[in-house]
Amino acid sequence: MGNWMEELSNQLWAVVEAFGAEVREHGLLALLRPVAPFNRPAFLVPLVTVGALVGFLLLSGVAVTALGALLAALVALYLLLVEVFGVSIELHPLGVGR
């Protein structure tokens, strides 16, 4: 029995192989088609697919914007602590003594 890292690696490779088998069998566009019950009626399938992709891009933009806001808040907090309150923040590499 392997350790948890080997198990995780095996599971990730199984997912990659499953995606590869699906792409080889049905092509890359099969991964973008909606699944049941969202694939009915047939004339709305392209609209559902485009809507899902736009939603994914919109939510990705929200996530990137939130990351930028987090970084800006951390920089503001650092400047407040160092410049106003005079707190010294020092980081030392692990394993290096003082």
Tell me the average pLDDT across 80-98: 84
Q: Which amino acid is at 37?
A: P
To which residue do tokens 């080997």 refer?
6
pLDDT of 1 higher than 60? no
Residues of the chain with pLDDT > 70, as a percent, come to 96
pLDDT of 48 higher than 90? no
CB 49 within 8 A of CB 33: yes
Q: How far apart are CA 48 and CA 37, in angstroms?
A: 11
| pLDDT tier at 45, thresholds 50, 70, 90 | confident
pTM, whole model, 2 decimals?
0.57
Cis bond upstream, residue 41 (ω within 30): yes
Give me the residue spans of the domains in the chain: 1-32, 44-88
Q: Calculate the alpha carbon distances from 84 to 35, 48, 72, 91 in Å.
A: 56, 53, 17, 20
